Amino acid sequence: MFLTIHTTGTPEHPATDLGFLLHKHPDNAQVFSTSYGRAHVFYPEADERSCTAALLLEVDAVALVRRGKGKGRGGAPDAALGQYVNDRPYAASSLLAVAIGAVFSSAMKGVCRAKPELPSRPRPLRIEVPAVAARGGAGLVRRLFEPLGWTVTAEPVALDTEFPEWGESRYVRLELESSALTLAQALRHLYVLLPVLDDAKHYWVAPDEVDKLLRAGEGWLAGHAEQKLIVGRYLSRRWSLAREAMDRLELVRLAESDDSEVEEIDNAVAEESETEQRPTPLAVQRRDAILDALGRPGTARVLDLGCGEGHLVRELLKDPRFTEIVGMDVSARALTIAARRLKLDRMGERQAARVRLFQGSLTYTDARLKGYDAAVLSEVIEHVDPPRLPALEYAVFGAARPGTVVVTTPNVEYNVRWETLPAGHVRHGDHRFEWTREELRTWARTVAERHGYDVEFTPVGPDDPEVGPPTQMAVFTRNTTTETPNKKDEKDEKDEKDEKDEKEVKAA
């Protein structure tokens, strides 16, 4: 993975000023360690008229596989060879963007203590990247870079030069030229747009990525014509983060376009904030409703079934009422993220004794789930194929039999209120179904009757008078006076009847 930055100069403003801006001396070849390999910085040429700095990133394919991001694209994700033979070491992507941010961090910030006047001075620049992964082709490359003041050359790379009939690959050779931009602006453009072109990131996109995007996009992203595409791809289509970023960019755009208008908005927001708080996210409302449902006396040992990345487990740990918390999920990757989010490796001994995470499937009975006071299935059942629901039902209500079971699931009737959700689509690509309120009630009442539970229904989120709430919740409470007969109970009843018949025969 290779990138060069070239500039020209004069005796008054020598090209070797590039070394001051990058904080890398032209006479030295330097090596930097990264999470996925080594980054080399060197200068193929350096004099007062012409200077070129090169960044070479050697990617460790084994490190990528160990961290779960080395899977080849375009084939089966579990193909053993595809994990090691892929485009990551060669085509510019988020790996190169991260290396730019790490190796040239001071240059990106526009800091140069030796010559403070240099960072703010535009200079002639030519940036070349031999191979860029471009999902969208050369046309998208131009749409992203040309509005920022670059002259763009994006040449598609043929799949095979000996067989031109095979057509073009999704890679381009990229060359950017400008004399009106500073080096800091150029590096920030690359930092954001290389992952956008690749449309993939090699690391988990956390909420702090919004701040990184806005810092790197300061001064240009708010007014970019492809802003929505840039934000969505950079944040790996985590739409909650994308909406936050778009909202903050809109305020920036207003500030840049009309200061007086922003002052009016600020005044209105200040007045409104006295009487109205920012809406609470639905995920937070859902967790609060679950915690309320678990508030009955004697609920101390709780199962989070389908715990995902540990959001609810983290909230349960904050409440001292819960003395034992178990998170179970079928995804080992989700459990790894949950352990990292909970900081299990740094947790105190007493706190660590309260929580366990393990892998398992809800469609199979599991002896580890027996004996708990409560179980939560938060946004879980809609990920199960309908023919497998009876297996889940028996595993939870028939075999594990916790005292309380809390189930939340989307209300499909509310989907018409989501402006960004196309008609007829479910909220997540992995949802096997989404139920109406009546469908949930029918299923829940049948389950409750079959296994000896009472059930109540609670709306979560704004309860629309026409279509109901966005999330519906069913709270099952085991009926201790009317336990469901099982085979052992049936055998006992038969033995009692036989004994009674025998006594009647002897009396006769």
Q: Are 18 and 183 in contact (CB under 8 A)?
A: yes
| Amino acid (1-letter code) at residue 202 | H
CA 403/CA 453 separation, integer angstroms:
9
At residue 37, the pLDDT reads 79
SS3 at position 7: strand
Q: Are 377 and 406 in contact (CB under 8 A)?
A: yes
Q: Are 202 and 88 in contact (CB under 8 A)?
A: yes
Please compute the mean of the pLDDT values over residues 475-483 and round it to a whole number. Answer: 80
Q: Are 254 and 282 in contact (CB under 8 A)?
A: no
CA 123/CA 14 separation, integer angstroms:
11
Per DSSP bridges, beta strands 301-305 and 324-329 are parallel
Interval 17-37: pLDDT, tens? 999 999 999 998 999 887 777
Q: Tell me: pLDDT of 505 over 80.
A: no
Task: State the angle between helix axes of 239-257 and 208-216 in degrees (0 to 180), rounded to the nearest 10.
Answer: 30
Specify the pTM: 0.50
For residue 94, count other CB atoms closer than 10 A to its CB. Answer: 24
Cross-strand bridge partners of residue 129: 174
3-state helix, strand, coil in the chain (%, to 5): 40, 20, 35
Q: Are 378 and 290 in contact (CB under 8 A)?
A: yes
**151 contacts: CB under 8 Å, gap ≥ 6:** 176, 177, 178
Percent of the chain with pLDDT over 70: 82
Interval 89-135: pLDDT, tens? 677 777 888 889 889 989 998 888 889 899 999 999 999 999 888 88
In terms of Cβ atoms closer than 10 Å to its own Cβ (0-12, 13-18, 19+), residue 137 is middle
**252 contacts: CB under 8 Å, gap ≥ 6:** 214, 222
Interval 54-74: pLDDT, tens? 999 888 766 666 655 444 443
The residue ranking higher by pLDDT, 498 or 235, is 235
Share the mean pLDDT of the chain: 83
CB crowding 33-54: b at 16 or more within 10 Å, else e: ebebbebbbbbeebeeeebbbb
Q: Are 347 and 377 in contact (CB under 8 A)?
A: no
Rounded to a whole number of angstroms, the distance between the first and last alpha carbons of the chain is 97
Interval 407-421: pLDDT, tens? 999 999 998 887 777
Q: Tell me: pLDDT of 75 over 60.
A: no
| Amino acid (1-letter code) at residue 83 | Q
At residue 469, the pLDDT reads 93
Interval 430-460: pLDDT, tens? 889 999 999 999 999 999 999 999 999 999 9
Q: Tell me: pLDDT of 242 over 60.
A: yes
SS3 at position 84: coil
Q: Which residue in this structure is represented by tokens 């002896």?
A: 367
